[in-house]
C-alpha cells in the first residue's frame, strides 16, 4: 500500500485495516463474467471511469472487508465485499471549526460545529471532522467511536490507538456511557415531565428519513425540560438507544420538532445550500463514563451553546 493517500486531492495518510472500514461505502460483488475486481467495478459503476477506479486502487482506496487494499489485478470473486472511499472533485468549504477539548494517548474528544459531517458522506469527503483531525494530529489511526448528525453540534469521541479501541467501543455496544443532548423546540405544555418516549423506528420515504411505525419499540428517549420560555423550551434529551435521527423523530412525534430541523416534520427541498443562520438547535452536550482502560470517571461537556 502506498505511504500516502488522499481525499479529493488533499493528502492524508492511507487507511489501514484498523481505520479503513470507517467512512467507506460497501458493495457486494454480484455474479458475473469479470476477470478482476476492477473489471466488475468499472462495469457496475459506469459513471466512474475505469481509469479512476484503477487510480483509487493504486492509492489504497479500494479495500476488502478486512481493510486490506485490493490491487488493480485482484481476481474477481462473486460475493466479495468491497469497501471503497468516495472522492469528490470539488467540495464547498464549511466555514466552521471544531475544537478539541480533551486528548491523551487513548482518546480525543472534539466539539463539533453544526453543518460539519463526522465522516465522509454525500458531497463531503475532505470537509469532515475525521479528515480534519487526521491532518491536524497526523494520525491515520483516528476513528470516531460514535457519530452525530451533520446538522447536530457537540461532542464526538475518537479512538487514538487501535489496541484500546474495542474497549471504548464496548461502552457504546453495552450502553455503559451516558450521552446527554440539549434541544430547543416548541413548548409542550400539556405534557408532564420528565417523560420517556418509545417507538418503532424504520427507514422512511425517501430513505434519508426515519419514520415511526407500528410494532414493538426499538428506540427509547428520556426527555426533560431545562428552561421554559413562552413559545419555546430548552429540553434535555437522553437517548437510551441510538437509532438514526432518533431524537429529531421523537421530538417531532410529540408535536415539538426541533427548531431549525429541515427534515422533520416536513422535508425541505434537497440540494439547496445550507442556511448557516438557521442551524438545527440540537447539541450533544455531555459524555460521561468510566474509562475502561484507566478506570477513571470521565465527564466531558460541550463548550457550545444553542441560540434561541
CATH code of 58's domain: 3.10.290
pLDDT for position 23: 52
Contact between residue 283 and residue 152 where contact means Cβ atoms under 8 Å apart: yes
Instruction: Indicate whether 40 and 159 sit together in one domain.
Output: no
Instruction: Indicate whether 288 and 181 sit together in one domain.
Output: yes
Q: Is residue 94 part of a domain?
A: no
Domain of 121, CATH number, reads: 3.30.2350.10
Residues of the chain with pLDDT under 70: 1-24, 88-89
pLDDT for position 67: 82
Instruction: Indicate whether 151 and 184 sit together in one domain.
Output: no
pLDDT for position 17: 38
pLDDT for position 89: 64
Domain residue limits at 280 = 176-308
Instruction: Indicate whether 184 and 235 sit together in one domain.
Output: yes
Q: Is residue 2 part of a domain?
A: no
Q: Report pLDDT digits (tens) over 222-268.
A: 999 999 999 999 999 999 999 999 999 999 999 999 999 999 999 99
Identify the domain boundary among 122, 142, 174: 174
pLDDT for position 7: 31
Instruction: Indicate whether 227 and 291 sit together in one domain.
Output: yes
Give the total number of structural domains in the chain. Answer: 3
Instruction: Indicate whether 219 and 295 sit together in one domain.
Output: yes
Instruction: Indicate whether 197 and 288 sit together in one domain.
Output: yes
Q: Is residue 4 part of a domain?
A: no
Q: Is residue 247 part of a domain?
A: yes
Instruction: Indicate whether 72 and 111 sit together in one domain.
Output: no
Instruction: Indicate whether 186 and 279 sit together in one domain.
Output: yes
Instruction: Indicate whether 215 and 265 sit together in one domain.
Output: yes
pTM metric for this prediction: 0.76
Q: Is residue 76 part of a domain?
A: yes
Q: Is residue 68 part of a domain?
A: yes
Q: State the Cα–Cα distance between residues 209 and 216, nearest whole angstrom.
A: 20
Instruction: Indicate whether 187 and 278 sit together in one domain.
Output: yes
Instruction: Indicate whether 196 and 211 sit together in one domain.
Output: yes
Identify the domain boundary among 118, 152, 174: 174
Q: Is residue 54 part of a domain?
A: yes
Identify the domain boundary among 174, 200, 234: 174
Q: Is residue 200 part of a domain?
A: yes
Q: Report pLDDT digits (tens) over 26-38.
A: 889 999 999 999 9
Amino acid at each position: 500500500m502506498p505511504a500516502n493517500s488522499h481525499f479529493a486531492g488533499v493528502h492524508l495518510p492511507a487507511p489501514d485495516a484498523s481505520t479503513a472500514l470507517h467512512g467507506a461505502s460497501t458493495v457486494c460483488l454480484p455474479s458475473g463474467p469479470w476477470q478482476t475486481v476492477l473489471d466488475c467495478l468499472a462495469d457496475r459503476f459506469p459513471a466512474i471511469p475505469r481509469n479512476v477506479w484503477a487510480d483509487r486502487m493504486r492509492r489504497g482506496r479500494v479495500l476488502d472487508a478486512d481493510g486490506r487494499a485490493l490491487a488493480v489485478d485482484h481476481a474477481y470473486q462473486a460475493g466479495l465485499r468491497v469497501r471503497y472511499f468516495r472522492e469528490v472533485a470539488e467540495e464547498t468549504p464549511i466555514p466552521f471549526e471544531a475544537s478539541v477539548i480533551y486528548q491523551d494517548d487513548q482518546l480525543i474528544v472534539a466539539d463539533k460545529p453544526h453543518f460539519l459531517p463526522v465522516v465522509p458522506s454525500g458531497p463531503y469527503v475532505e470537509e469532515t471532522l475525521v479528515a480534519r483531525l487526521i491532518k491536524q494530529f497526523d494520525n491515520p489511526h483516528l476513528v470516531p467511536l460514535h457519530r452525530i448528525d451533520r446538522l447536530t453540534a457537540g461532542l464526538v469521541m475518537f479512538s487514538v490507538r487501535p489496541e484500546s479501541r474495542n474497549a471504548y467501543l464496548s461502552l457504546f455496544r453495552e450502553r455503559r456511557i451516558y450521552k446527554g443532548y440539549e434541544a430547543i423546540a416548541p413548548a409542550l405544555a400539556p405534557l408532564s415531565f420528565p417523560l420517556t418516549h418509545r417507538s418503532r423506528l424504520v427507514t422512511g420515504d425517501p430513505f434519508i428519513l426515519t419514520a415511526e411505525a407500528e410494532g414493538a419499540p426499538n428506540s427509547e428517549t428520556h426527555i426533560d425540560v431545562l428552561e421554559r420560555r413562552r413559545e419555546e423550551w430548552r429540553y434535555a434529551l437522553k437517548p437510551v438507544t441510538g437509532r438514526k435521527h432518533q431524537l429529531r423523530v421523537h421530538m417531532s412525534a410529540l408535536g415539538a420538532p426541533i427548531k431549525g430541523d429541515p427534515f422533520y416534520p416536513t422535508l425541505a427541498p434537497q440540494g439547496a445550500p445550507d442556511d448557516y443562520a438557521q442551524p438545527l438547535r440540537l447539541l450533544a452536550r455531555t459524555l460521561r463514563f468510566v474509562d475502561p482502560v484507566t478506570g477513571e470517571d470521565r465527564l466531558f461537556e460541550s463548550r457550545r451553546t444553542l441560540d434561541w
